[in-house]
Structure 1
């Protein structure tokens, strides 16, 4: 291994170690919330000292005479605390897939197992056949020459003493794909958010951060992922992902409205074919006469789900009781995961619990 390759490998190991060491911190930062398709994550590395050049007196081979001016060095130095030349913290880039893998290792996030039968056959092309048409990049040189030789012999123009061959258009052969079916797990993910008057400000920011990492982790295990976003107060309605984090309403809360609409949405995704996940965010302050109806709806829905994650966000108006109702009515149901959000410091443990893991 060349020195530069060894240095690059060592640098990558440093970055990976930094991600695992600061995993909890990274999960609380909103600047990482972006696209889930091929995103590159920038990892700040404030404690690393950047290489620096220093210009000094060169006593060997020094010419005589006066120069026309004094040169200025262009090399910057790392500032205090590992800052770069312009006072910026140096960063390293990493693919989201690798970033998630390291975060998962650091926090011991659970692997999501596909339900038996929850997969479809997806074609994976293998270039194992030949075609007379195709792009030049896929031309099969040996088969093309073989066809040209066969044509020359059959037509009587082949001369052993001068075996040069010039393929004609009909001689060309190209590698062609042959679809090979392979099982591909698929999932449906539904988010329901309580937008009643008691959910506001920092609570909604916590929901946004948590829902992003839930989506990223589920998508990592189920690339064929369908997502739906529901809002509710006393009634529920479906919205786009953008409106999910933007629209605000008021009024009272009927948690059953969000659960019932999630149930209706999931009718499009048969339980025998899809791994179905529902995540519900609220402060737990439900209308008293609605709790029994919400629990009854969940009783019918839970057996069809891979997971129902309930996240109760602490409110300045007090703590709701619905999380206690869930835990008492479904004390050992493997499809139920609950977590309480008190602040950003609680996000890593809440994420782990809502993905089906045990508490720290």
Structure 2
């Protein structure tokens, strides 16, 4: 993306003022960058998840700097880097980019409570006993010394240095099981592969999933979120993230099975009382009436009680698409269930607002 510079007059800026002026200049350029992303709905500016974004500014002329309190002597009147039609590039931290976008879209902070799924089990030696395998020599010696002093066998003032080792004085290290929570949140991405997921439709879906991925990582921390991907046609199954968009279309569809699968996994593999659940479904919305009705039942009875957010997005729906219509009849003003319709790239930002924005 090429950014136009904000014009500066040619007046020199004293060194005492230069830092603030240059920071304002950069902030204005970043504002233009964010505005371009939101206006075009183009989220391809994101780098790899959690990495810095390299921003390159073309044809800019930053303010020139002079040194000294009065701008005389030893000052440099030359323009800074990038002047005269040059380029300037700088690194924009991932968190800063997400913060700017969140502020512009007025997205709220997400819940950060919850210990999450127990994934890692380790053993630490925090307790000690009279029986075991690993002898704690330091603790054993202390016990022996105390016993020897109490029985009078150890009297250094009398020149008696005898230590009596008794079985009951031995102390062994006992392993204690420690369960460490690995994830504070888990995100389930669900995709319908029975419809034509290619071309523009695929790009729209990938762009939105990428933002969701980044947004949740930004809120919880990239190492605190587990992202899991599921697809369905006439059956539902989990796939690797890189295969979410590569599964061949099989024909025939039944979406309720993927909702049911995710709901069961949430309860069986996680602790619903301590885990933040997010679910997002993507499809064209063309389902049998009884299938849509079953989805509403699963969402209401199994998912809404434990999920932080559940989004259903119809991607380039046809006139016969009716999944969101069925769901909205039951969850029109629900704070957890959010619906979106993604027809064009420019709809991406509006869908993001619907998925994550505040609802009064």
TM-score higher than 0.5 here? Answer: yes
* Distance in 2 of aligned mates of 1:28 and 1:35: 15
Would the aligned equivalents of 1:15 and 1:92 in 2 still touch at CA under 8 Å? no
Residue of structure 2 equivalent to 1:200: 198
Pairing 1:9–2:23 present: yes
* Distance in 2 of aligned mates of 1:76 and 1:299: 57
* Distance in 1 of aligned mates of 2:99 and 2:209: 18
Residue of structure 1 equivalent to 2:49: 36
With structure 1 as the length reference, what TM-score do the two structures score?
0.65
Residue of structure 1 equivalent to 2:3: none
Task: Give how far 1:49 is off.
Answer: 4.0
Would the aligned equivalents of 1:313 and 1:341 in 2 still touch at CA under 8 Å? yes
Would the aligned equivalents of 2:183 and 2:226 in 1 still touch at CA under 8 Å? no
Q: Summarize the alignment of residues 36-185 of structure 1 with structure 2, pairs less than 5 Å apart.
A: 36-37=49-50, 39-46=51-58, 48-49=60-61, 78=84, 84=86, 91-114=89-112, 117=114
Residue of structure 1 equivalent to 2:287: 286
What do the CA deviations read for 1:263-302 (whole angstroms, capped 9, x no partner)?
1332322221111000001110112332222221112221
Residue of structure 1 equivalent to 2:189: 191
* Distance in 2 of aligned mates of 1:109 and 1:203: 25
With structure 2 as the length reference, what TM-score do the two structures score?
0.65
Residue of structure 2 equivalent to 1:21: 35
How many residue pairs get aligned? The number is 265
Task: Give how far 1:358 is off.
Answer: 4.9
Task: Give how far 1:210 is off.
Answer: 0.6
Give secondary structure in 2 for the equivalent of 1:226.
strand
Residue of structure 2 equivalent to 1:212: 210
> How big is the alpha-carbon RMSD for the aligned residues of Structure 1 and Structure 2?
3.1
* Distance in 2 of aligned mates of 1:47 and 1:347: 30
Residue of structure 2 equivalent to 1:331: 332
Give secondary structure in 2 for the equivalent of 1:354.
helix
Structure 1 residue runs of 5 or longer lacking an equivalent are: 53-74, 122-182
* Distance in 1 of aligned mates of 2:323 and 2:62: 52
Structure 2 residue runs of 5 or longer lacking an equivalent are: 1-14, 65-80, 119-180
Task: Give how far 1:237 is off.
Answer: 1.1
Would the aligned equivalents of 2:185 and 2:275 in 1 still touch at CA under 8 Å? yes
Task: Give how far 1:77 is off.
Answer: 7.0
Give secondary structure in 1 for the equivalent of 2:305.
helix
In structure 2, the CA distance between the partners of 1:271 and 1:309, relative to structure 1 (3 Å rule), is same
What do the CA deviations read for 1:124-170 (whole angstroms, capped 9, x no partner)?
xxxxxxxxxxxxxxxxxxxxxxxxxxxxxxxxxxxxxxxxxxxxxxx
